[in-house]
Amino acid sequence: MTASAEKFSRQTLLDVQPLTPSLFTLRTTRDAGFRFRAGQFARLGVTKDDGTTVWRAYSMVSSPFDEFLEFFSIVVPGGEFTSELSRLKAGDTLLVDRQAFGYLTLDRFVDGRDLWLLSTGTGVAPFLSILQDFEVWEKFERIILVYSVREARELAYQQLIAELMQRDYLAEYVHKFQFIPVVTREPHAGALNGRITTLIENGELEQAAGVALDPAHSRVMLCGNPQMIDDTRALLKERGMSLSLTRRPGQVAVENYW
């Protein structure tokens, strides 16, 4: 089988950055033929010492227009894939599936005024890609990124989030964006304290955003811990918000990023 006929490409790691003992980012080269929509994920493969390959799905942090691919990962204790992945360094090879997957993309919504991006942990990754894509800024009047972590040191990509509005092509949209960090296990200046579901139930999240979560205007993307996704979907369902499907447009789109 020729390299071009294989279902994956071999990419070179350009950079690996540890953020905490259990979180790291990695950047690779990008195959010229690899295409994806902001919010999608790719299957990454790591070849072990015994010659076998382990595959896992990771959302792209990078935008569809970057010349590189960037991913955000947590080290799972005893995890076969992440333990191998975390040992890689610049210059090593990473396998990347030639096809992108996933439906956490803007075309899930046919209308809407306010876009809520609710994430926990590394689930912020696809939202960072979406925020770097011009389409989202034209489509919605308000964009609220909610990023929940256990400890403040786990709040990654703060520089990227801060610099978004300094990009020339987004200068006229700065008024649309709001970033709400959430830290669950310790108080942190400028962040809400509590689980996303609790902050929805007690009204703190909407108060911080200055925007109501309602089916008429709100469109909600969820990515992260499956329990958070299930619990948040149940709360939104109580408010008349349903999963958006191809045959039945709704107000909610999800990705179980775990």
pLDDT > 50? residue 27: yes
User: What is the pLDDT, as a whole number, of residue 183?
Assistant: 98
Looking at per-residue confidence, does 9 or 2 come out higher?
9
pLDDT > 70? residue 71: yes
Burial of residue 79 (CB within 10 Å: 0-12, 13-18, 19+) is middle
126 phi/psi in degrees, rounded to 5: -65, -30
- How is the chain split into domains, by residue range? 3-97, 106-256
pLDDT (tens digit per residue) in 116-133: 999 999 999 999 999 999
Q: What is the mean pLDDT of residues 17-43?
A: 95
Q: Which residues of 144-182 are buried (b: 16+ CB within 10 A; e: fewer)?
A: bbbbbbeeeebbbbeeebeebeeeeebeebeebbbbbbb
The percentage of residues in the chain with a pLDDT greater than 70, rounded to a whole number, is 97
Please give the Cα distance from 95 to 13 (Å, whole number): 10
pLDDT > 70? residue 3: no
User: What is the pLDDT, as a whole number, of residue 1?
Assistant: 42
Structure confidence at residue 84 as a pLDDT band (50, 70, 90): confident
pTM to 2 decimal places: 0.95
Structure confidence at residue 242 as a pLDDT band (50, 70, 90): very high
pLDDT (tens digit per residue) in 159-205: 999 998 888 888 899 899 999 999 999 999 999 999 999 999 999 99
User: What is the pLDDT, as a whole number, of residue 246?
Assistant: 84
Non-local (6+) Cβ contacts of 4 within 8 A are none
User: What is the pLDDT, as a whole number, of residue 2?
Assistant: 45
Please give the Cα distance from 215 to 206 (Å, whole number): 14
Q: What is the mean pLDDT of residues 87-106?
A: 94
Structure confidence at residue 49 as a pLDDT band (50, 70, 90): confident
pLDDT > 80? residue 22: yes
Structure confidence at residue 5 as a pLDDT band (50, 70, 90): low
Of 12-16, 75-79, 251-255, minimum mean pLDDT range = 75-79
CATH for 106-256 (3.10.129.10, 3.40.50.80, 3.30.365.10, 3.30.2350.10) = 3.40.50.80
Say which CATH topology domain 3-97 has: Elongation Factor Tu (Ef-tu); domain 3 (2.40.30)
Q: What is the mean pLDDT of residues 49-63?
A: 93
pLDDT > 70? residue 258: no
